[in-house]
């Protein structure tokens, strides 16, 4: 019987050390690896990049991964008299301050992404793939894909439906009908193409449902009743078939498409079993049984890690029950951001205390129908907060859609989930603000970097209305990537220092922005010494010339001055999921499999 979460925590309150990503694979391909901040692409000088949180009313009217004036070196008490007074940020750069190694950041491959990308002409597809995966662009390195259909699909399928439609399948005990199908094959080919642009992506799969005939209701998609459907759940008599199913899927990707699957979540959102799109209840004991009765061993033989749970932070006992029920088979826990009113990422700390070697990831979050003219910090807030609490990677949901947030299920699910890319036509696509927010992390934080604790400077928490959040990652070349999220309604002058280094850096973080500083290693600072900083009595949030952000010019320490009044703005949420859409009825829901009925 699984131990309770509380008991596990009490048994290991002193077992704290940084997780390692040693042994994690890559999906493969001929594309380049790494990027700025690794040994082959070291940071030679301080740099700054900025993206406004404002959703633009018109394209190219806000700063999006704009090059900013870099932070400057300061000495002693120099530059303390600025407006507003400097915010002191301290990073514990000691071994004790190290938390976890990073894998990367990314999105999910969905059928909507594949379908829209297939509509692009060859040269345009080449450009969008470069924009997403090239080490010279967004360098996405932590990618999820749907194993079968999801709500972001234009056709519904598993890899062995065995019937005239997705909801009319009969048991196929030997999986004689197994195959990726038209949509699944298209996805595998597109994922293989990803390897031409980046050769070191960590790729993990997750099904939204097992084949309908393995469930108590016999349906891939249950009727949409406005609530969870009680018999929309896995029938454990089919555990041997699901072990075979997942093994065949992994082998097919490798054998037929040259794609290595690196991680597997047995079920996306196992506690979400509503109708209208593929979903399924999977009890943690059943997830553990599938792993313990053959799948865990098969995954290890193939270099694939098992990722438990893959749902919200309000049920932390779920991954514990899987870990305890399948000892030695679970390498990671996966979390989503949808707990209301806000995700509680501190449960990642709790799980780390209990299982110090367990990797953790934030595997899904979404921006829902953003409103132009409002502020949206969703990507930055959830990336910084989850990684601060121990996540070794973070990914947003859908990567690309058409202008109507589709294709998506006509029966239910998300009808307004935004990706990084909107495909407008065969020759035109739009990079959304999420693309640029993603790039503030994925471009500059390398695989193998180590996240360190920020001991001073953070203001507010993930659930507060006003925040100044900070993420500090020590890259393989010994440089630092520091990401700031300023939602404090005013520009913040920052003095950044490290506990194990003699250098202090200063610069301004404008209101309503996300800013990434690249700080060169001490060796590079000595080899290429930058000019020292000097300061002025004010910093402009934005000049009329769209300068990335105002910087500080000379001022003596003895000058007398007072800070001017500050005009502030209020952040507006853009993540409401309220929908007035009328959905079609799910077809063929009267189909039953007598031996599966509860």
- How far apart CA 448 and CA 37 sit, in angstroms, is 10
Could you tell me if 93 and 498 are in contact, meaning their C-beta atoms sit under 8 angstroms apart?
yes
User: Do 161 and 584 form a contact (C-beta atoms < 8 A)?
Assistant: no
Question: pLDDT digit string (tens) for 334-377?
Answer: 999 999 999 999 999 999 999 999 999 999 999 999 999 999 99
**Cβ atoms of 598 and 592 closer than 8 Å:** no
pLDDT score of 218: 98
Residue 596, sorted as left (phi over 0), alpha (psi -120 to 50) or beta, turns out to be alpha
User: CB neighbours of 590 closer than 8 A, spacing ≥ 6?
Assistant: none
pLDDT value at residue 79: 59
Tell me the two tokens of residue 450. Answer: 């180590």
CATH 2.60.40.1180 fits 47-97+454-527, yes or no: yes
CATH node for 104-446? 3.20.20.80
CB-based burial label for 372 (10 Å; 0-12, 13-18, 19+)? exposed
Distance, CA of 460 to chain centre: 21
The strand pairing partners of 395, in sequence order, are 106
pLDDT tens track for 556-567: 333 344 555 544
553-577 burial: b if 16+ Cβ within 10 Å, else e: eebeeeeeeeeeeeeeeebeebbee
480-487 and 467-474 beta bridge pairing:
antiparallel
Residue 2, pLDDT score: 42
At 9 the pLDDT is 43
Asked whether the whole model's pTM tops 0.85, one would answer yes
List Cα–Cα distances, 548 to 47, 65, 98, 508, 511, in angstroms: 12, 9, 31, 11, 12
pLDDT at 199: 98
CA distance 525 to 520: 6
- Specify the pLDDT at position 589: 76
Which contiguous run of DSSP H or E holds residue 442?
helix 433-442
| Sequential DSSP letters for 344-403 | -THHHHHHHHH-TT-EEEEEE--EESPPTTSB--HHHHHHHHHHHTT-SEEEEEESEE-T
Cβ neighbours of residue 249 under 8 Å, at least 6 residues apart? 147, 159, 180, 205, 261
Residues in the chain: 598
In this predicted structure, what is the pLDDT of residue 171?
A: 98
Residues in a beta bridge with 483: 471, 516
Q: Which two tokens stand for residue 86?
A: 């400097």
Spatial CA neighbour of 36 closest among 379, 533, 549, 524: 524
Write out the DSSP string of 390-438.
T-SEEEEEESEE-TTS-S--SSSS-SSEE-SEEE-SSS-EEE-HHHHHH
Low-confidence spans in the chain with pLDDT less than 50: 1-16, 533-561, 566-578
Rounded Cα distance between 52 and 155, Å, is 37
Cα(412)–Cα(246) distance, integer angstroms: 26
**By the 8 A CB rule, do 134 and 172 touch?**
no
Asked if residues 479 and 42 have their Cβ atoms less than 8 Å apart, the reply is: yes
What pLDDT score was predicted for residue 534? 38
pLDDT confidence of residue 19: 83
Please count the helices (runs of H) and the strands (runs of E) in the chain. 12, 25
Which positions are catalytic?
A: 269, 364
Domain boundaries, the chain: 47-97+454-527, 104-446
Distance CA 458, CA 451 (A): 15
Q: Cβ distance 338 to 303 under 8 Å?
A: no
- Kind of pairing, strands 305-311 and 263-265? parallel
């Amino acid at each position: 019987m699984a131990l309770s979460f509380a008991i596990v925590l009490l048994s290991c309150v002193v077992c704290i050390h940084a997780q390692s990503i040693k042994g994690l694979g890559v999906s493969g391909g001929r594309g380049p690896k790494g990027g700025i901040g690794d040994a082959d692409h070291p940071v030679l000088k301080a740099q700054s990049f900025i993206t406004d949180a404002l959703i633009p009313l018109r394209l190219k009217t806000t700063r999006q991964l704009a090059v900013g004036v870099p932070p400057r070196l300061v000495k002693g008490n120099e530059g303390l008299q600025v407006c507003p007074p400097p915010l002191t940020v301290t990073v514990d750069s000691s071994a004790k301050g190290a938390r976890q190694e990073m894998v990367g950041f990314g999105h999910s491959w969905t059928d909507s992404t594949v379908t829209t990308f297939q509509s692009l002409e060859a040269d345009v597809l080449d450009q969008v793939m470069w924009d997403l995966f090239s080490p010279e662009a967004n360098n996405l390195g932590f990618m999820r894909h749907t194993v079968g259909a999801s709500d972001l699909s234009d056709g519904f399928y598993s890899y062995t439906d065995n019937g005239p439609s997705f909801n009319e399948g009969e048991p196929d005990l030997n999986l004689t009908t197994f195959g990726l199908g038209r949509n699944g094959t298209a996805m595998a080919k597109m994922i293989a193409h990803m390897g031409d642009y980046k050769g070191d992506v960590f790729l993990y799969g997750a099904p939204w449902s097992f084949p309908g005939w393995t469930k108590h209701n016999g349906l891939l998609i249950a009727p949409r009743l406005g609530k969870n459907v009680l018999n929309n759940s896995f029938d454990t008599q089919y555990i041997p078939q699901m072990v075979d199913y997942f093994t065949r899927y992994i082998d097919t990707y490798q054998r037929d498409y040259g794609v290595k699957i690196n991680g597997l979540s047995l079920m996306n959102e196992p506690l979400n079993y509503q109708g209208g799109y593929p979903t399924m209840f999977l009890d943690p004991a059943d997830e553990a049984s599938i792993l313990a009765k053959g799948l865990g061993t098969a995954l290890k033989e193939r270099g694939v890690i098992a990722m438990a749970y893959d749902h919200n932070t309000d049920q932390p006992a779920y991954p514990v029950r899987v870990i305890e029920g399948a000892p030695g088979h679970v390498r990671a826990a996966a979390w989503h951001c949808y707990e209301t009113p806000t995700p509680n990422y501190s449960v990642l700390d709790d799980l780390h205390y209990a299982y110090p070697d367990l990797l953790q990831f934030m595997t899904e979050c979404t921006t829902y129908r953003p409103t132009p003219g409002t502020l949206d910090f969703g990507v930055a807030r959830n990336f910084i907060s989850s990684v601060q609490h121990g996540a070794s990677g973070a990914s947003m949901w859908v990567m690309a859609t058409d202008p109507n947030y589709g294709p998506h299920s006509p029966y239910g699910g998300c009808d307004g989930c935004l990706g990084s890319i909107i495909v407008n036509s065969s020759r035109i696509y739009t990079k959304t603000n999420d693309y640029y927010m993603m790039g503030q992390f994925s471009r500059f934080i390398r695989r193998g970097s180590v996240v360190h604790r920020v001991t001073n400077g953070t203001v507010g928490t993930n659930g507060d209305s006003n925040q100044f959040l900070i993420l500090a990652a020590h890259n393989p070349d010994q440089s630092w990537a520091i990401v700031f999220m300023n939602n404090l309604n005013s520009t913040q002058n920052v003095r950044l220092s490290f506990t194990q280094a003699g250098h202090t850096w200063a610069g301004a973080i404008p209101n309503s922005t996300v800013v990434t500083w690249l700080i060169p290693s001490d060796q590079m600072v000595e080899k290429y010494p930058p000019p020292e900083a000097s300061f002025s009595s004010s910093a402009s949030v934005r000049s009329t010339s769209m300068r990335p952000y105002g910087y500080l010019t000379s001022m003596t320490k003895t000058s007398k001055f007072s800070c001017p009044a500050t005009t502030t703005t209020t952040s507006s949420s853009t993540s409401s999921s309220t929908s007035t859409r009328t959905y079609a009825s799910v077809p063929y829901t009267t189909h039953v499999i007598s031996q599966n009925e509860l």
